[in-house]
Structure 1
Amino acid sequence: MDRYASFSRINVSHTDLVRMIVILSLTISCIVITAVSLRANIGTIYAQLFYFPILYATYFYPRRGLILAGVCAVAYEILAYDYLFPDTGLLIYTTGQAVLFICISAVVAHFTEKVNRSEARYRSIFETSLLGIVLFDQNSFAIRMTNNYLSQMLGYTPEEFIGMTFPQLFASKEEQRKFFEYLGSSEDVNNFETQFVGRNKEPLWVNLSWRRVSDNQVSCSVIDLNKRKLAEQAAEENYARYQQVTELSVLDAGKIPLNYSIFSPGEMIQSIIDAGGYATKADITIDIPRNITFDADAGKISTVIESMLSNAVNYSKPPRKIRVSYQSSASDKMHRIAIQDNGIGITNTQLDEIFEPFQLPDSGTIVRKYDRIGLSLSIAKKYIQMHGGYISVDSIVNLGSTFTIHLPKTRSVAGKGNDG
Structure 2
Amino acid sequence: MSTPFLLSYYGDDLTGSTDAMESLSLHGVKTVLFLAPPSKDQLAPFADYSAIGLAGTSRSESPEWMETHLKKALAWLKSLNASLCHYKVCSTFDSAPDIGNIGKAVEVGKALFEQSCVPLVVGAPQLKRYTVFGQHFAVFDGEVHRIDRHPVMSRHPVTPMAEADLRRHLAKQTPLSTGLADVLCLESVEVDAQVDQLSHSNDILLFDTLNRDHQAKVGEQLWRTRLPGGSYVVGSSAVEYALVNTWREHALIPSNPPLFSSPGSVEKIAVVSGSCSEVTARQIRFAEAHGFRAIAIDVVNLIDEHTHAETLHQALEDAIEALNQGESVIVYTAMGPNSDADAVHQGGETARHLIGRSLGQLLRKMVEIHGLKRTVIAGGDTSSHALSQLGVHALTTRLPLPETPGSPLCTTHSDQPAFNGLEVALKGGQIGGENYFTSIRDGVA
When normalised by structure 1's length, the TM-score is 0.20
Larger Rg: 1
Larger fraction in helix? 1
